[in-house]
Each structure stands twice: as structure tokens, then as C-alpha cells.
């Protein structure tokens, strides 16, 4: 049975600023080690509980953050961009369950480190079938379309609360308590490593014994609405075939299923940046 560990960086241990997650900034290199340690802790917990096959899908920036030379030898790494399923690459290849490590809250959240939805510079808000969503709801719903439950989310207290709204019964690890977008009280890696390993173990064990959270249900067709930051972005994203322009900054489109909705959202946000 294969476990996918989908990885973002804003929710990693110690991260509170863009400089710490921007490949062009000097601080970034330090935080790659901390991110990889969070991922390894999750792998260790899953292995102890009985998973043997683990794929890590690096989803931050250009998907080249996790240090493969420090990655646990039991795992494989999806790295590089673009891949067909981006932040949840491999979900289409028969994984049984997923962990989300280093995740962050949706755009507009209060007291949430680096809150955003897919693109901080382009997306003001996004909705899935009328429900305001962030990347936990979005990527979790792609997993749900493949019958894959999300068992664990790690990040700050805001993404943990958001995850519990979407996925009742999952395990969460709060590695930092945010008091602003760029400020948090952070636990040190020796502590977060233990907390992540223990939560991963509990989550994997419950799943492997037939318990744990259900996949997020997704009704079809899927309606995606995106409110961009500027009307110029609306002009560009509105070029997506089938997109309706709701107002200057907002488009909406219908997709037959969640994988197609995910493609459409990525395409629309890509156009908005052109």
C-alpha cells in the first residue's frame, strides 16, 4: 500500500517569512533542511505503523525544495515542475492515503503564516462548488476524487483548524502558533520532529486498521470560482475556454470532474500571470 506525502514549505518548522521559502533568498537554504526533517519525521511514523511504499511530492514553488540527499531512504521523491498533478503528483497512480506536510492556511486567514491560495500575488479568493477553499481543501478534494483520504496535516494553528473543517477526524500537528502573517511562536525542530513522527504513526495506524478519515466527497460537475487580485488578471484568466466573467476580477468555470477542475484552476492562474 502506497502513501503519498504532499509537501509545501510555508508550514514547515520555523518558517515565518517569504525570504525563508524563496529559492532566490539566502535564508531559503536553511529552511530546506528543516522542511526535509519535517518530511522525514512523517516518513518514520508511517513506516513504524506499517506503510512500506512512500512517495513524497514536493509542491512548493518549482517543486525543488526537499533535499534528496537527506531524504529517508525508504521514500521516493517527485520533484520538478510542471507535473500532471502538481502538488499531489502520484495521486493518479494508485496511492492509498495522503499526508500534507508544511501546509498553510487559505488566502485571507487571520493569524496564519504566509496565508495564500495557490498564488499569493494573483488569487484573492477561490471557491470549490461555492465553498471558500485553500490548498488543503483543493488538494484534498483532488485526492478525494481518487478515493484517497488525507490523514495528517502539519503547519500552523490556522491551517490545522481549516483542515479539521474539511476533513473530520484527521490528525494535525501545529508546529508554530501564528500571531500574524509574518510572525509566529515556533517549536524547535527536535520537538516538531517528535510530534510529527508520533502523529504520523497514529494516523497511519488508524488507517491501516480500517479507521481514520474518509476521502473528501466531491459532487460533479465541479464549479470553480476565482477572484483575482487585479482586473488585468481577470482579463487574462477570462480567456480560458468556457470561463464566465462574473466581475472585473472574478471568473467561474465548470469542469466535469475534480481532476479537470484542478487543471482548469492551474491554467487560469497561469494565464493571470502572463
Catalytic sites, residue numbers:
116
Among 3, 5, 7, 8, binds Zn ion (CB under 5 A): 8
Q: Does 115 bind Zn ion (CB under 5 A)?
A: no
CB of 61 to Zn ion, least distance (A): 6
CB of 257 to Zn ion, least distance (A): 25
Distance CA 112, CA 211 (A): 30
Please give the DSSP secondary-structure letter assigned to residue 261: H
Q: State the chain's maximal CA–CA distance in angstroms.
A: 52
- What is the total count of residues that contact Zn ion (CB under 5 A)? 3
Segment contacting Zn ion (CB under 5 A): 55-63, 190-198, 240-248, 260-268? 55-63
Among 16, 34, 44, 60, binds Zn ion (CB under 5 A): 60
CB of 6 to Zn ion, least distance (A): 11
CB of 104 to Zn ion, least distance (A): 7
Site string for Zn ion, 140-179 (x = CB under 5 A): ----------------------------------------
Segment contacting Zn ion (CB under 5 A): 56-64, 155-163, 245-253, 255-263? 56-64
Nearest to 173 by CA among 113, 107, 103, 106: 103
Distance CA 246, CA 267 (A): 18
Residue nearest to Zn ion (CB): 60
Nearest to 58 by CA among 119, 2, 14, 8: 8
H-state helical runs in 50-156: 135-145
At which residue does the C-alpha cell 487574462 appear?
236
Segment contacting Zn ion (CB under 5 A): 9-17, 93-101, 137-145, 253-261? 9-17
By C-beta, is 105 or 148 nearer to Zn ion?
Answer: 105
By C-beta, is 10 or 171 nearer to Zn ion?
Answer: 10
Q: Is 92 exposed, middle or buried (0-12, 13-18, 19+ CB in 10 A)?
A: middle
Determine how β-strand 183-186 pairs with β-strand 171-180: antiparallel
By C-beta, is 60 or 181 nearer to Zn ion?
Answer: 60
Distance CA 108, CA 93 (A): 33
Distance CA 68, CA 215 (A): 29
Segment contacting Zn ion (CB under 5 A): 5-13, 190-198, 236-244, 261-269? 5-13
Continuous segment of H or E residues that includes residue 211: none
Residues of this chain that bind Zn ion (CB under 5 A): 8-9, 60
Amino acid at each position: 500500500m502506497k502513501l503519498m506525502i504532499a509537501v509545501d514549505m510555508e508550514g514547515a518548522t520555523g518558517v515565518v517569512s517569504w525570504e525563508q521559502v524563496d529559492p532566490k533568498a539566502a535564508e531559503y537554504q536553511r529552511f530546506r533542511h528543516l522542511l526535509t526533517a519535517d518530511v522525514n519525521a512523517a516518513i518514520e511514523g508511517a513506516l513504524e505503523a506499517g506503510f512500506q511504499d512512500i512517495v513524497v511530492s514536493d509542491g512548493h514553488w518549482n517543486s525543488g525544495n526537499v533535499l534528496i540527499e537527506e531524504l529517508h531512504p525508504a521514500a521516493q521523491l517527485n520533484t520538478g515542475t510542471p507535473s500532471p498533478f502538481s502538488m499531489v503528483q502520484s495521486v493518479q497512480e494508485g496511492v492509498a492515503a495522503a499526508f500534507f506536510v508544511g501546509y498553510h492556511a487559505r488566502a485571507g486567514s487571520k493569524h496564519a503564516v504566509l496565508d495564500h491560495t495557490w498564488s499569493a500575488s494573483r488569487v484573492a479568493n477561490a471557491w470549490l462548488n461555492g465553498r471558500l477553499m485553500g490548498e488543503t481543501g483543493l488538494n484534498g478534494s483532488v485526492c478525494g476524487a481518487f478515493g484517497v483520504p488525507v490523514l495528517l496535516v502539519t503547519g500552523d494553528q490556522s491551517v490545522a483548524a481549516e483542515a479539521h473543517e474539511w476533513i473530520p477526524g484527521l490528525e494535525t500537528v501545529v508546529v508554530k502558533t501564528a500571531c500574524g502573517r509574518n510572525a509566529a511562536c515556533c517549536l524547535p525542530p527536535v520537538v516538531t520532529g517528535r510530534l510529527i513522527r508520533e502523529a504520523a504513526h497514529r494516523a497511519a495506524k488508524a488507517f491501516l486498521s480500517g479507521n481514520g478519515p474518509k476521502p473528501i466527497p466531491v459532487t460533479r460537475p465541479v464549479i470553480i470560482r476565482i477572484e483575482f487580485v487585479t482586473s488585468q488578471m481577470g482579463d487574462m484568466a477570462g480567456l480560458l475556454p468556457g470561463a464566465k466573467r462574473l466581475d472585473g476580477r472574478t471568473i467561474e468555470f465548470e469542469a466535469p470532474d475534480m481532476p479537470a477542475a484542478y487543471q482548469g484552476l492551474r491554467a487560469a492562474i497561469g494565464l493571470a500571470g502572463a
